[in-house]
A and B are shown apart, each in its own frame.
Chain A
Amino acid sequence: MKNKIPSSAITPEKIYRQRREIMKKAGVGVGLSAVAAPSAGALFGLFGDDEPAQPDVAVYQPKPLTISKKVPNNLTEKLTPESKVTSHNNFYEFGTNKTDPIENSKLFNPEPWTIEIDGEVKQKVTLDMDAIFKQHAIEERIYRLRCVEAWSMVIPWLGFPLAALLKQVKPTSKAKYVAFQTLYDPERMPGQNSRFSSIPFPYVEGLTMAEAMHPLTLMSVGLYGKTLPAQNGAPLRLVVPWKYGFKSIKSIVKITLTEQQPPTTWQALAPNEYGFYANVNPEVDHPRWSQGSERRINDGFRAERIPTLMFNGYQDEVASLYKGLDLRKFY
């Protein structure tokens, strides 16, 4: 195939980092140890470190996946190395620092897993991962991922169109929106436990029916040829490439089709900063980040700043979804 990923682009997975341990050892016994606090929550004793001790190696290791359906890929941009895709994550369920999820998810086992689909459907279902793998052909989709914090990656996802899953449950005519929910289990997701938790859990997200049925919208079960690592949203997550990363909800346990627009976590938290649509838009700035450009995370130490594209470069495919919508108002 013409656009096959060159094997040189695939970086082998690095050994798990032990930053936390190193930081603790280096905790110079002066007031400055506060500076060296590895996580925001661990600044003073007051916040406590609720997280259980983590093993050196994760209990769940991603398994190789076979691509059962070849799809063309037009994206020629360089892939972000796997080691960076799996060590730089926003997944507050495992902590608020970028390196927290890989550290704090080592005890997280996504097996067994079930996902429930209900609401405005003719056929409610509860599926386990075996059923999902049996019913859907796995494709590889290389997408840009643009975080609202103005960094971006290029990731080879594995998955299947969300539309295929939704057709299975036969939406009723009242189904206008799709609501998603992440697992709520503070025992397994230590970030949900934090006494000073900054966001309400469970994490929820939503799409319009048209967005959910769009062929680019992916239910991802893997990346870089393997099942998803815990920190990337194992075992099942959403990937909506033309929206800011926070829309692509991880570790989904429930999908509900609704008539009313469902609440979404970041919008509920700061409605002036995050909208329901959250389409990548270089014209509409976030109060704290310019959205005109982004730092593309690649193999170099310094992520290069590149211009951000309208709808993250998927304008031709998705612009028609928003015809007549004021994107400044509906950000």
Chain B
Amino acid sequence: MVRAILQRHMSVIKALVHLAIAAPLAHLAWQTWQGQLGGDPVQYLTHFTGKGALNLLFITLLVSPFAKRFKLAPLFQLRRLLGLWVMAYASVHLAIFIYLDLGNDWALLFNETLSRPYILFGMLAFAVLLALSITSHNGIRKRLGRQWQKLHNWVYLAAVLAPVHYYWSVKAGLAEAIIYLVVAGWLLFLRRQKLWAPVKKCWHACQAPKASKPVTRQSALNHGNIHKT
């Protein structure tokens, strides 16, 4: 029933989701324009867009478990648009940092990225999002074939990097940052089987030959890891 409604009105739902996500950004621009954000809005703008990106990333990662749990397959169609909005918020976040905070000083950006792990983590998360956004196009997706899913599994790395980036960046009030870390942990926990599979596979691949074939002197020599006497 719900599924049928979702399926039939998917384009309306998509439009509403676009609107709901664009609205806070538009409102932020309006507040900035009107000077409602105080004497120096840089910190507020940075936090607002950064947390926005993080919230959206979590919402994006919630779609699959939710759709599976309640058998609402049409919701899968929302993942790409949500993911692209994560990228949009993250881009504004980074642009504010570079242009307003660092004053467009690219040498300083380079130094800061290398000397501060929290900025490095943010940059890495951004790089992942960028790669996923570029390859989100259907044509590219088809061309990448099975590699596409492998690449898009990197989103789980972003889901870890981004909240750690936030946690390391705050001066006080760690409680909120810790909640983000916990939510990230929970979202990954929901996918434990998927995330665990490659580890298991690797484990078996490494264990199996050793167990079945004892290492002889000759085979070790063939592998070149024993000194010749």
Choice from A43, A83, A199, A297 contacting B176 with Cβ under 8 Å = A43
Contact residue among B21, B38, B59, B171 (Cβ-Cβ distance under 8 Å from A102):
B38
A328 to B55, CA, bound (A): 39
Contact of B39 among A19, A84, A293, A304 (CB under 8 A): A84
A267 in the interface, Cβ–Cβ < 8 Å? no
- Set of chain B residues within 8 Å of A303, measured between Cβ atoms: 40, 42, 100, 103
User: Which A78-132 residues have C-beta < 8 A from chain B?
Assistant: 80-81, 83-88, 92, 96-99, 102
Q: Are A297 and B36 in contact (CB under 8 A)?
A: no
Residues of B contacting A: mostly: helix
How many residues on the A side are at the interface (Cβ–Cβ under 8 A)?
Answer: 49
Question: In the complex the two chains form, is A19's CB within 8 Å of B31's CB?
Answer: yes
Are B37's CB and A290's CB within 8 A? no
| Residues from chain A with Cβ under 8 Å of B29 in the complex | none
Chain B, Cβ-Cβ closest to A34: B55
Q: Residues of B within 8 Å of A, CB-based: how many? A: 43
Indicate if B185 sits at the interface (CB-CB under 8 A).
Answer: no
Residues of A within 8 A of B174 (CB): 198
Q: Tell whether, in the assembled complex, residue A297 and residue B52 are in contact, meaning their CB atoms are under 8 Å apart.
A: no
Q: Which of B35, B52, B112, B168 contacts A32 (CB 8 A)?
A: B52
In the complex, B175 has a CB within 8 A of chain A: yes
Complex: how many Å from CA A28 to CA B21? 9
Q: What chain A residues lie within 8 Å of B103 (beta carbons)? A: 295, 302-305
What is the CA–CA distance of A224 and B99 in the complex, to the nearest angstrom? Answer: 31
Assess the A98–B43 pair: CB atoms within 8 A.
yes
- Chain B 58-85, CB-CB to A under 8 Å as 1, else 0, gives 0100000000000000000000000000
Number of A-B contacts (CB under 8 A): 114
- In the complex, whether A330 has a CB less than 8 A from a CB of chain B is no
Q: Is A134 an interface residue (CB 8 A)?
A: no
Q: Are B175 and A196 in contact (CB under 8 A)?
A: yes
How many Å from the CB of A229 to the closest CB on chain B? 13
Contact A290/B172 with A19-B37, A84-B40 known, Cβ cut-off 8 Å: no
Contact at A288–B43, with CB atoms within 8 Å? no
A26 within 8 Å of B (CB atoms) = yes
A31 and B59 within 8 A (CB): yes
For the complex formed, measure the closest distance between the CB of A230 and the CB atoms of chain B, giving whole angstroms. 15
Contact of B38 among A26, A88, A199 (CB under 8 A): A88
Chosen A-B contacts, 6 in total, with CB atoms closer than 8 Å, are A32-B52, A43-B176, A84-B39, A196-B175, A198-B175, A290-B108
Knowing that A83-B39, A295-B42, A305-B105 touch, tell me 19 more A-B residue pairs with CB under 8 angstroms: A28-B23, A28-B24, A32-B23, A35-B51, A35-B55, A36-B24, A36-B27, A41-B173, A44-B179, A47-B176, A80-B39, A98-B43, A102-B38, A288-B169, A290-B108, A290-B112, A290-B115, A301-B32, A304-B103
